[in-house]
Amino acid sequence: MSIIEQLQRIENEARNKVSSAKSVEELEKLRVAYLGKKGELTTILRGLKSLSPEEKKEIGGKANKFKSEIDSQIKDKKEQLADNVSTDPSFDYTLPGRPRRQGHRHLITITMDEVTDIFQRMGFEIAAGPEIESDYYNFEALNFPPDHPARDEQDTFYTEGGMVLRTHTSGIQIREFEKRKPPVKIIAPGRVYRNEAVDAGHFCVFHQVEGFYADSDVTFGDLKGVLEAFCYELFEEGVKLKFRPSFFPFTEPSAEVDVQCVLCGGKGCSLCKYEGWLEILGCGMIDPEVFKAVGYDPEKTTGYAFGMGIERLALLKYRVNDIRLLYENDTRFIKQFR
Ligand SMILES: [Zn+2]
């Protein structure tokens, strides 16, 4: 059989096999068998050495044409197979489908989304900032004196370079004030870190939403109105709030806010430790020292700030009794909150 005849035979055989191939894997095997380095075509071309230059030219041309045609036939067939699974005769259309498990948001994300959504509807923008923060943004500009206990290594994770893992998202307040002029109305959600002993109510990483508003005539009444509206949305319409005087370096006056126990309605239960109230956030009017640090005129600017822990809100709203459940990734727990 002459080389031309051999080529013709291989070409016919290859075309038939490719056109009746049933899977992409089969096509790939055919490609290797005919066109690969050890394939039939290559073997034939090795036999060309003994031929005259005219014959080499003729056969070489035919071989190249064969190669590119089979190559594109294989490609077309692959696409066809990918488009049309029906070429697989073993596929049974009458079988019931396999349910596909769908992922969903984690309870922390659900709560975070609820909280940010409520504040966005009240006109707050969202801002973010770095989790590894400088002492200036985490403490100094927020009016933490150098000897403030929160700076103590008991509470704060320090990096080797003297930076801190932010202990709150309040540093974003400073960063945004530096960039803008009042009015500024922002919430800053994010992860924060505290060097605390882990127990049912505490974890070394948690999520916070900080909110702040600076303008010319902001009052404590505005702050109360916003927080009340927020709690009505998150818990229930008309839920009672209690503002207790407190202290934070970056607000004056400051308050902590308790919400009437969502479980017992104030009568007393194990969730509220029989007090009828649950602490949910800290807030206050932004200290003039903070405005000075960002270059605002404290005579003309007033504002409020508040901060809350997302995990705590999630525990209260969804009646979860241990914060560690939020981080253990036990699907039996996670699946309950879709
Ligand atoms: Zn209670």
What is the amino acid identity at position 190? Answer: G
pLDDT given for residue 84 in this prediction: 64
Q: How far is the CA of 113 from the centre of ligand 1 (A)?
A: 25
**Average pLDDT of the residues in 263-277:** 85
Asked if residue 87 has pLDDT above 70, the reply is: no
pTM of the model: 0.68
pLDDT in the model for residue 305: 95
pLDDT over 70, % of the chain: 97
Task: Tell me the CA–centroid distance for residue 205 and ligand 1, in Å.
Answer: 26
The answer, yes or no, to whether residue 170 has pLDDT greater than 60, is yes
> What number is the average pLDDT over the span 133-139?
88
65-82: per-residue pLDDT in tens? 888 888 888 888 888 877
Position 137 pLDDT exceeds 60: yes
Q: What is the pLDDT of residues 178-203, one digit of tens each?
A: 999 999 999 999 999 988 887 777 78
Q: How far is the centre of ligand 1, averaged over its atoms, from the C-alpha of 278 (Å)?
A: 8
What token pair was written down for 187? 């919430």
pLDDT of residue 15: 87
Q: Is 86 a residue whose pLDDT tops 60? A: no
Ligand 1 centre and the CA of 240: distance in Å?
A: 13
pLDDT in tens, 286-303: 999 999 989 999 999 999
**Nearest in space to 223 (alpha carbons), one of 278, 281, 180:** 281
User: What is the Cα–Cα distance from 74 to 106, expressed in whole angstroms?
Assistant: 46
Long-range contacts of 322-331 (CB under 8 A, 24+ apart): 322/200, 323/200, 323/201, 323/202, 323/203, 323/206, 324/198, 324/200, 324/203, 326/106, 326/107, 326/108, 326/203, 327/203, 327/205
Query: Sign of torsion, CA 138 142 148 149?
Result: negative
User: For residue 243, what pLDDT is reported?
Assistant: 95
What's the 229 CA to ligand 1 centre distance in angstroms? Answer: 21
Q: What are the tokens at 338?
A: 């879709």
pLDDT reading at 327 higher than 60: yes
Query: How many whole angstroms from 309 Cα to the centroid of ligand 1?
Result: 19
Percentage of the chain surpassing pLDDT 90?
34
What average pLDDT does the segment 198-220 reach? 88
Q: How far is the CA of 40 from the centre of ligand 1 (A)?
A: 82
Q: What is the pLDDT of residue 245?
A: 95
DSSP 8-state code for residue 323: G
Distance CA 95, CA 152 (A): 64
* HEC profile of 275-292: CCEEEEEEEEEECHHHHH
Give me ligand 1 centre to Cα 260, in Å.
Answer: 8
DSSP element (H, E) containing 253:
strand 251-260
Say which residue the tokens 């932004």 belong to: 286
Q: How confident is the model at residue 153 (pLDDT cuts 50, 70, 90)?
A: low
Which structural domains are found in the chain, ordered by start? 3-87 (no CATH), 107-334 (3.30.930.10)
Cα-to-centroid distance, 195 and ligand 1 (Å): 29
